[in-house]
Every structure is written in C-alpha cells, then in structure tokens.
Amino acid sequence: MLRIHFTSADLARVTLGYNSSLPVSEAVMSLQALRHRSGPRFSVWRHAVGKQLPARASLLGSLVPVSGWAPDFLTPGPDHASPTAGAFDAIRATPRRRLTAELRRLSHHHRLPTCSQLGRCLKGSGLPELAALAEMLQAVRAASTPGSPRVSWSGRRS
C-alpha cells in the first residue's frame, strides 16, 4: 500500500476550486437522498426538507432515479460564468434534441411520467418547461442547503 504524508505546511498550500455546477449536482444528490429511505441517519433532514419543497418538485423524482444515471442535462458541466446561476441557466438552455435523447435513455431504465403528465406539470408553473425544471432544482437546493452543515461524510478513517 502506498501512503502519502502531507505536512501541515503542505495542507496550508492546498486550495479548492469552485465548480459552478456544484449547486445543481447538490440538488440532484439531495433528491436522491430524499427518496432513498434506508436508515434513520437522514430522516430528520428528509422530513424538514420535504416540508419545504413545492408540490411540483415531486416531478423531479420521476427524472432523478434514487440511484444510477440521471440525465446529464440536469447536471451540466462547470463551464459557466456565474457560480450559482450558471448551471441553472445551462439547464434552461438545453437543446430540445438533447433533452429528448436523454429522457429516452432514462426511460429504458426508469419509469417516466407520460409526456402529457410531464408537460401539464411543467406548464402549470407558468414557465417554459426547462425553466420550470431549473426552478424546481433551485427550490430543492434552497430547501436542502440549510441542513448541509449537519450532513457529514461518514467514511472509514485511517
């Protein structure tokens, strides 16, 4: 086994870059955690966040499986001008062809609502479809972010 030792001076020089797609990725992973009911660890968090979400946000559950692949347009890459809004803007600008292809791929592994159900729910927001999805993801992120300091990684420590 290879072990690498970092001194405190080494660690003091470490910087972490900000990835502008992080807010959207956090929202998608929060959705997965909200729907994954195993264990009591996140039950208080799930309950608190679930109460804050708009009813339409349940539509996102049909687009984000509990585990496995989620459509890539929901987690755009880090090439955005604005750290917080950029990734949500990228979702709003997803080309129709890409949206269709990724939803088709998802439908092979995950049950999706019918187009009429999906369209009705998205149009009920008064926004264009992709803007409604981005708004729902922003609502999930806003609801789940206050609990993030209490949610910590519980990996093996050496």
Could you report the per-residue pLDDT of 28-56, keeping only the tens digit for each?
A: 888 888 887 766 777 888 888 888 887 77
Tell whether the model's pLDDT for residue 143 goes beyond 60.
yes
Tell whether the model's pLDDT for residue 148 goes beyond 80.
no
Among 52, 39, 70, smallest CA distance to 140 is for 52
Residue whose tokens read 């019918």: 114
Among 38, 23, 24, 34, smallest CA distance to 58 is for 34
Q: Which two structure tokens, joined as six digits, stand for 84?
A: 């917080």
Q: Confirm whether pTM is higher than 0.75.
A: no
- Give every CB contact of residue 109 below 8 A, 6+ residues apart in sequence: 65, 68, 69
pLDDT over 70, % of the chain:
72
Side chain identity at residue 144, one-letter code: S
Q: Distance between CA 55 and CA 14 in Å, rounded?
A: 42
pLDDT over 90, % of the chain:
2
pLDDT at 150: 47
pLDDT at 127: 55
Q: How far apart are the first and last CA of the chain?
A: 13
The angle, 0 to 180 degrees and rounded to 10, between the axes of the packed helices 115-123 and 129-144 is 70
pLDDT at 158: 45
Q: What is the pLDDT of residues 59-107, one digit of tens each?
A: 787 888 888 888 888 888 766 545 555 788 888 888 888 888 888 888 8
